[in-house]
Amino acid sequence: MTPVTPTPSLWRLLLLSLLMIFGGGLACHLLQSDGGRVEVTDFRLDTVNGQWVTADLFRPATATRQQPAPAVLICPGFERSKETMASFSMELARRGFVVITIDPYNQGASSSTMERRSATKEGYGLVAMAEYVHGKTGPDFIDRSRVGAFGYSAGGNAVMQTASQFGARQATALRRATRLDSEKGRTVTEQETASARRENLLTTIFVGGYVLTMNEELFAPIDANVGMDYARSDEGAFRNVAGSADMRTAAESLALVNSARPADDKLKAIEIGRAYGETAQRTYRIVHNTSGIHPLLPYDDRFVANVLDFFDRTLQAPSPLPPEDQRWKFREAATTISLVGGLLFVLPCAGLLLRLPFFAAVRQPTPPALPAPSPSGRKLTWCLFFFGALVAAVLFMPLSMATFTVFPEASSVKQTWWFPQRINNALLLWALANGTIALTLFWGAYRFHGRHHGVMPSMWGLKLNAKAASLTALLAFIVVGLFYVLLFACYTLFHADFRCLFVAASTAFPPKMLIVALEYIPLFFVFYFANSLRVNGGSRHEGASAWRSGLFNAFGNTLGLILVLSLQYLHLGATEQPFWTDGWLYVNLLFGVIPMMFLLPWLHRIFFDLSGQTWLGPLITCPLFVMMMLTSNVCYIPLK
């Protein structure tokens, strides 16, 4: 086949995508570095049992050995990496705090952990990081008498468990000081008190989005100022003592506030947003109950303001700013531009590669469009549309629960090579089942209707010889590889990846993740191929509007998942309880999945128009999107 001369439009689109990628990265760098006043770097801390923790360090220029600054350690929640907490990191750093944000064990680029009770024993890596900060090799620009911690969701639990562990160490040291064989016998000296306090490495903590383990026993050893914020419509509130997200009389928030009050002055109700106790005595307590839901609370400027105000009050910000003075949304916009640019890049990249003589065999003559549907054909199309959506919705939660049987190790938080991603395993089973059903319905519709109305398999763009098939796979590999080259280049230059809220292309993953991807991609490919076949072989009709066809397929691809999400939150709004309780975390996964699924049919049609075949689209989108999901989730990869 004669190669086609590259068109100016593809080159312009390529240039635009590169400008978006690196322009967004540069804007992100300028924002999170506060115009060069904050140095942002990453590092790795080797811990125990061959484990390690990766972290981002935000160091204001004002933090020096001569003028050490207070520090805040940040632990993300379940399914999150350090980049998801950048809004808090940059805002605290703008106020003069040194900030260290970790990737929890089993997440991001941190290693797995040998500890089954990692939150309690290790704080998901926070314990080791706090010990490093206070150790002999720790940063000399941190004021070690003013070190706090903040965590959201499971990260909030890690922060509480870490503070409780350090408080218990302090209590043990004080008990030793009262023994007869101590320095002054049963009299505790000032030196012994100071020595005991050095065992307590956190002086202030803020817990976001987590109250499940809050009780008197947990708080008893804690010698630190404590604040919290809990979404007023948190989906996980059904697990609380009263089954409610109202923190005014909740046993959990009362345990927090009363932990610093004398036995004869315990409260039975608290005032939301009111400060109790004194910061100097480490008895400061405050409870917020911001309106919202669990996954969206970290993106609420009111919640961010509560966090900033708390650390300003308890650690005395070196460069105080009003808590409402926030720029993180501009950073979010910048990384969104990079993400859109990255996804846009794969289109002209593939188009230009297709015009090289080497890849000439990949380009196929565009198959004829399907005949315009008859009235019976339109009825069948709509029946299949709604049936497919219903099946997708009905299967999601049962298949999520089936992961406990099919993938018992990952579901039990055990290290394994057998599909080690606990949450994404639910999506894997769902995609495999729905892809198989979609292919069956496609063949059935052709067998019993299409072939009698002028539809022929030659219209589907499936036929490739061995050379064309191998070159198609190679071209897809190059496109996805170049996408990640640009991603890592942007991160290297600007410490910025591609992300928008719950959708992200992250550089924070261990090399072993590439091995894990080889497990997931082939099974996910069934779904991606079925989608491409449906888009290009089932709805590409003569005279049909490409725009209307794209919308039809986009909603067909997502309607079932939208129904799941809608049922969950309509029920939550009506009853203050989610429709699915035990599987509520699986439903939250859909916030990041639905946007990608909505975009998928559009990409598959464009790749079809570029190549004249159905295979190229899924060979690019499947590894691209699956890697994006895998690198943004919990993964129990074996250490050895």
Q: What is the pLDDT of residue 5?
A: 45
Q: What is the pLDDT of residue 633?
A: 79
Nearest alpha-carbon partner for 391 in 524, 559, 588, 539: 559
Contact 589, 423 (CB under 8 A): yes
Give whole-number Cα distances, 45 to 101, 476, 623, in Å: 12, 36, 30
Q: Which residue has the tokens 């911001």?
A: 290
Q: Is 500 helix (H, G, I), strand (E, B) or coil?
A: strand
Nearest alpha-carbon partner for 277 in 287, 269, 268: 287
DSSP one-letter code for 374: P
Q: Which residue has the tokens 């002054």?
A: 184
Residue ranges, the chain, pLDDT below 70: 1-7, 179-188
Give whole-number Cα distances, 328 to 75, 124, 503, in Å: 18, 25, 17
Domain-by-domain residue ranges, the chain?
Answer: 37-324, 332-363+374-630
Sign of CA dihedral 629, 633, 634, 636: positive
Which tens digit of pLDDT belongs to each residue from 517-535?
999 999 999 999 999 999 9
Nearest alpha-carbon partner for 270 in 262, 258, 279: 258
Give whole-number Cα distances, 493 to 27, 30, 99, 335, in Å: 12, 12, 20, 14
According to CATH, the topology of domain 37-324 is Rossmann fold (3.40.50)
Contact 50, 128 (CB under 8 A): no
DSSP one-letter code for 300: -
The tokens for 587 are: 């439903």
Beta bridge pairs of residue 40: 58
The tokens for 163 are: 């503070």
Q: What is the pLDDT of residue 290?
A: 96
Q: Which residue has the tokens 């839901």?
A: 293
Q: How far apart are CA 556 and CA 392, in angstroms?
A: 10
Nearest alpha-carbon partner for 431 in 294, 589, 620, 615: 589
Contact 233, 245 (CB under 8 A): yes
Q: What is the pLDDT of residue 187?
A: 67
The tokens for 49 are: 């049992």
Q: What is the pLDDT of residue 2?
A: 37
Q: What is the pTM of this model?
A: 0.90
Q: Is 499 helix (H, G, I), strand (E, B) or coil?
A: strand
Q: Which helix (H) or strand (E) holds 52?
A: strand 52-60
Contact 591, 346 (CB under 8 A): no
Q: Which residue has the tokens 């099946």?
A: 391
Which residues are CB-contacts of 438 (< 8 A; sequence separation ≥ 6)? Answer: 388, 527, 530, 531, 534
Q: Is 633 helix (H, G, I), strand (E, B) or coil?
A: coil
Q: Which residue has the tokens 């069956």?
A: 440
Which residues are CB-contacts of 326 (< 8 A; sequence separation ≥ 6)? Answer: 87, 91, 301, 304, 305, 308
Q: How far apart are CA 55 and CA 205, in angstroms?
A: 19
Give whole-number Cα distances, 386 to 379, 383, 389, in Å: 11, 5, 5
Which residues are CB-contacts of 279 (< 8 A; sequence separation ≥ 6)? Answer: 204, 225, 313, 314
Which tens digit of pLDDT belongs to each residue from 190-219?
777 777 778 889 999 999 999 999 999 999
Amino acid at site 511 = P
